Amino acid sequence: MAARKKKVAKAKSKGEAKKPAKKVVKLAPKKPAAKSNGNGLPRPSAKPWGQAGRALEGVKILDFTHVQSGPTCTQLLAYMGADVIKVERPGVGDITRGQLRDVKGQDSLYFTMLNGSKRSITIDSKHPKGKEILDRLVKECDVLVENFAPGALDRMGLTFEHIHKLNPRMIVASVKGFGPGPYEDCKVYENVAQCAGGAASTTGFRDGPPLVTGAQIGDSGTGLHLALGIVSALYQRIRTGRGQKVLCAMQDGVLNLARVKLRDQQRLKAGPLSEYSQFGEGVPFGKATPRAGNDSGGGQPGWIVKCKGFETDPDAYIYFITQAPAWTAICDLIGKPEWKTDPDYATPPARLPRLRHIFDTVEAWTKTMTKFEVMDICNKHDIPVGPILSMKEIAEESSLRETGTVVEVDHPGRGKYLTVGNPIKLSDSPADVRRSPLLGEHTDEILRKVLGYSDKEVAEIKMSGAITAPEKPAKADAA
């Protein structure tokens, strides 16, 4: 198309040389060219913000993910506007459909909250006809995302070589537990990754065992990393015209999120970590980064302190940070104005060995108010604090609903449920948050509209058993 326009322009400029006066008027555009701004890129859209299509519109994802890590990745891509086609095993589907069920016979929240805005097609990837359909999907899609156990995709016949032969533009993105090395063949779940990535050894209290966190940094964290890898590969493909493999190991993803602890590991060589409360308590450091309880991971000491009602409410706590510029305000608020000038408290280094006593004093003050009252007062003085919000409070928080971070969607089987919308806000690409698909809900639609199968072919596929669960033998046959 662009080449044809160039030719026309060339022909016109030839004519222009012969009859300059007439042609110049015709060729001098009143407005700049419609499609280019002179550097080969499209001109800025004149459409209102949010109406120029979604960020990943036109990108088709062949979604072979299951459980959590892969599905979080493809759900984010779907929120960004990609057409995510989730391939599931006939009759069974993603195992999480049936895990931790709260409504009898219906898809669980585990599944529905990780698979919104996607379409579902059932295909038996080991059935010959199923393989044929998958090959057509490979040719049609831009990205294949999977998080099977190591080797499972190859065993289906979908090796990178096979995929790349069918579609050299295909990006093949995988989550695995470990990268190449001694553990590459291991199956991995969330907490295995938290332990292997250095999070567990650095979480918890010094005198207790290692702890895993409630945030799914191994699964959802790695899904997020993978999404960035995919978008980068899509961007590179614009230049190179070819796809590539994208691999995110869960161990690597967790370590990336725990990088400040590897920072501290190296700082140990230079002496004790003075911002850790164990320093102030005179407890010697060992060879590895220790667990630091609720110490702040940055340069500003912090701790979780009790608030009014803590005796009965397990979340009546607040994170309190003694940021240096706010110190004088803190002293006034907690009733210790003398600490502003006392050499034992006036400077950050002087305070380090006394943090336990300081936070006990802060707590004596915060215990007289609710966490929200503490927050109101502290915010007025620029003192950073974080109320410990329960999931109940978060679910009911109206501002999170307004921003689309928490979204209520309606499901034909289970009714309304809450899901987490897109935490990444794009001003020109509003998130597309829809309910999760029923198992195989879009099988017919994808076969016909995406892959172009005819009525006859669809009927044959249905008969073949490649998209439906094997029928149980009828009673008469069984007898």
3-state secondary structure of 256: helix
Is position 114 an interface residue for ligand COA (rule: CB under 6 A)? no
CA distance linking residue 438 with residue 111, whole number of Å: 10
Q: Of these, 85, 87, 138, 227, which contacts ligand COA (CB under 6 A)?
A: 87
Q: Of these, 63, 219, 295, 363, which contacts ligand COA (CB under 6 A)?
A: 219
What is the set of active-site residues? 219
* Range in contact with ligand COA (rule: CB under 6 A) among 148-156, 206-214, 238-246, 471-479: 148-156
Q: Of these, 54, 62, 63, 69, which contacts ligand COA (CB under 6 A)?
A: 69
Is position 251 an interface residue for ligand COA (rule: CB under 6 A)? no
φ, ψ of residue 60 to 5 degrees: the values are -105, 130
x/- mask, ligand COA, residues 153-172, rule CB under 6 A, reads: --xx----------------
* 97 neighbors 111 (Cβ within 8 angstroms): yes
3-state secondary structure of 175: strand
Q: Of these, 79, 110, 148, 279, which contacts ligand COA (CB under 6 A)?
A: 148
Is position 10 an interface residue for ligand COA (rule: CB under 6 A)? no
CA distance linking residue 76 with residue 452, whole number of Å: 27
Q: Which one, 156 or 409, has the nearer CB to ligand COA?
A: 156
Min separation Cβ 89 and ligand COA, Å: 4
Alpha helices in 19-82 (DSSP H): 20-27, 69-79
Kindly determine how many residues on this chain lie close enough to bind ligand COA according to the rule CB under 6 A: 24
CA distance linking residue 295 with residue 473, whole number of Å: 62
User: Which residues pair with residue 400 across a beta bridge?
Assistant: none
* 414 neighbors 106 (Cβ within 8 angstroms): yes
* 113 neighbors 99 (Cβ within 8 angstroms): no
Q: Of these, 112, 147, 277, 323, which contacts ligand COA (CB under 6 A)?
A: 147
Is position 126 an interface residue for ligand COA (rule: CB under 6 A)? yes
Min separation Cβ 379 and ligand COA, Å: 38
Min separation Cβ 174 and ligand COA, Å: 8
CA distance linking residue 62 with residue 134, whole number of Å: 9
Alpha-carbon Rg for the chain in angstroms: 29
Is position 221 an interface residue for ligand COA (rule: CB under 6 A)? no
Count of Cβ atoms closer than 10 Å to residue 145 Cβ: 27
Question: Quick one: CA torsion of 124, 126, 130, 135, rounded to 10 degrees?
Answer: 130
Q: Which one, 148 or 359, has the nearer CB to ligand COA?
A: 148
Residue 457: partners with Cβ closer than 8 Å, 6 or more residues away: 447
Q: Of these, 107, 124, 264, 275, which contacts ligand COA (CB under 6 A)?
A: 124
Task: Decide the pairing of beta strands 83-88 and 245-249.
Answer: unpaired
Min separation Cβ 233 and ligand COA, Å: 19
Residue 14: partners with Cβ closer than 8 Å, 6 or more residues away: none
Count of Cβ atoms closer than 10 Å to residue 144 Cβ: 25
Q: Of these, 67, 145, 316, 358, which contacts ligand COA (CB under 6 A)?
A: 67
φ, ψ of residue 84 to 5 degrees: the values are -100, 115
Min separation Cβ 252 and ligand COA, Å: 12
Largest pairwise CA distance in the chain: 95
The two three-digit tokens of residue 226, written as one number: 């993978």
* Range in contact with ligand COA (rule: CB under 6 A) among 120-128, 297-305, 397-405, 428-436: 120-128
Q: Which one, 135 or 313, has the nearer CB to ligand COA?
A: 135
x/- mask, ligand COA, residues 169-188, rule CB under 6 A, reads: ------xxx---------xx
x/- mask, ligand COA, residues 364-393, rule CB under 6 A, reads: ------------------------------
Q: Of these, 89, 136, 164, 401, which contacts ligand COA (CB under 6 A)?
A: 89
Binding site for ligand COA (CB under 6 A): 67-70, 87-89, 123-126, 147-149, 152, 155-156, 175-177, 187-189, 219
